[in-house]
């Protein structure tokens, strides 16, 4: 198997979410996984597909301007103003795509934790989920970095949640969207070194060879249509 390492891009919230979904939907070869690390054009928040927008808005900072977009995956509200963001697409038929969600989540986060440890961040995986506050209106996920779920990456000393993620499966394969909260990892992290190590660890977890690869030829009209959908009030506010 090959793990295509795509070039780093910077985009707005809707563009980043649309691009991740397109990577899942448009797959030329079934023996190829795709990985990318990306940045944000400005302050941005994303939230899980099933979350209620009324809860999401109650958690956002007042008096600030930022992008807001509903993700195609689940999970909670994620603050992207100081995070390190990535996505991974695993094609249909791969053992991790066929595994239970908790097991594929664990495998990706074991690779991530190992990469963080190699750059000096003491981390472990959360062995059990913390109980959600009774009656929390945002659903089980709530706000991503406020509470660790099972197999999230946490700081060994402080217990702070460092990394979380969310998944979507369809007939094409598995999309994993992940976020690392950099302040929880510490100020001394060499993020470039971490990125290179994480690529190697993800490739090993997939049993794949990591190969830097140019961007695939998307149908630009289709991608733009998806960006417009993800930007629309109908998408952001439909729950």
String of DSSP letters for 54-77: HHHHHTSPTT---EEEE-SS---B
Instruction: Answer yes or no: CATH 3.30.930.10 is held by domain 2-236.
Output: yes
Domain ranges of the chain: 2-236
Region 33-44: mean pLDDT is: 97
**Whole-number pLDDT of residue 138:** 46
pLDDT tens figures, 164-198: 999 999 999 999 999 999 999 998 999 999 999 99
Cα 103 to Cα 149, 176, 200, 234, distances in angstroms: 13, 12, 20, 33
pTM of the prediction? Answer: 0.92
- What span, in angstroms and rounded, lies between the C-alpha atoms of 122 and 114? 10
């Amino acid at each position: 198997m090959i793990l295509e390492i795509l070039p780093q891009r910077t985009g707005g919230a809707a563009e980043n979410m649309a691009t991740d979904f397109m990577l899942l939907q448009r797959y030329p070869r079934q023996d190829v996984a795709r990985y990318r690390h990306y940045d944000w054009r400005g302050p941005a928040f994303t939230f899980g597909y099933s979350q209620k927008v009324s809860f999401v808005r109650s958690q956002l900072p007042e008096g600030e301007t930022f992008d807001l977009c509903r993700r195609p995956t689940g999970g909670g509200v994620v603050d992207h103003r100081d995070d390190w963001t990535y996505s991974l697409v695993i094609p249909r038929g791969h053992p991790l795509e066929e595994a239970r969600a908790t097991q594929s989540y664990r495998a990706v986060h074991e690779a991530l934790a190992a990469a963080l440890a190699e750059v000096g961040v003491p981390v472990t995986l959360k062995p059990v989920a913390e109980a959600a506050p009774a009656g929390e209106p945002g659903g089980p996920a709530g706000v991503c970095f406020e509470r660790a779920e099972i197999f999230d990456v946490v700081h060994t000393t402080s217990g702070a949640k460092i990394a979380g993620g969310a998944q979507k499966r369809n007939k094409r394969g598995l999309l994993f969207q992940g976020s690392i909260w950099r302040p929880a990892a510490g100020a001394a992290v060499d993020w470039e070194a971490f990125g290179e190590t994480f690529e190697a660890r993800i490739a090993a977890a997939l049993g794949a060879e990591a190969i830097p690869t140019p961007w695939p030829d998307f149908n630009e009209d289709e991608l733009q249509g998806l960006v417009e959908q993800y930007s629309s009030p109908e998408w952001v506010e439909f729950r």
